[in-house]
Amino acid sequence: MQKRSPDTGSKMQLSVKNDPRSVPKGPFVPKTLAQLPQGESGVLDRLDVPEDIARRLMELGFLPGHTIVPARSGPGGEPRVYRVDGSEVALRRETAAHLMLRTPSKNAGKAKKP
C-alpha cells in the first residue's frame, strides 16, 4: 500500500466583517510622505532607508522636524515633487513611502489657556 503525501496545494480564505465601530473617526492621518495629499503639509519624523540614501535625502533638505508639502506629480503620478526647506525635490513613491511623518498630537492646534 502506498502512502499519500500531504496536500500542500490547499488554499485558505480569510473573511473579515467590517465593524463600523472599528473604523477610526475623523480625518485620515497620513503615516508616510507617499500618503500625504497634494497641498497638505507634514512634518518628517524619520527616514527608514539605507544610510547612503538617507544621507543624500538629508543633504536635499529632508531632515527630521522639517515641514514637507507635496506639490505636483509627473505623468502617471510619478515622480512626485515635494517642497522642503525652500527647494523642490522630485522623489519616487517607493522612496517617499519610507519617509515617515510625525503623528499629530491630540492637543495640536489647540491654544493653551493662560
Domain count, the chain: 1
Q: Where are the beta strands (DSSP E) in 1-96?
A: 42-47, 67-73, 80-84, 87-91
On whether residue 86 sits in a domain, the answer given is yes
3-state secondary structure of 100: strand
How many residues are there in the chain?
114
Do the domain assignments include residue 113?
A: no
Kindly state whether residue 7 falls inside one of the protein's structural domains: no
Assigned C-alpha cell, 16: 473579515
CATH number, residue 41: 2.30.30.90
Provide the pLDDT for residue 74: 83
Helix (H) or strand (E) holding 15: none
Q: Residue 62, class by beta-carbon neighbours within 10 Å (0-12 exposed, 13-18 middle, 19+ buried)?
A: buried
Q: For 2-42, write each residue's pLDDT tens digit.
A: 555 555 554 444 444 444 444 455 565 779 999 999 889 99
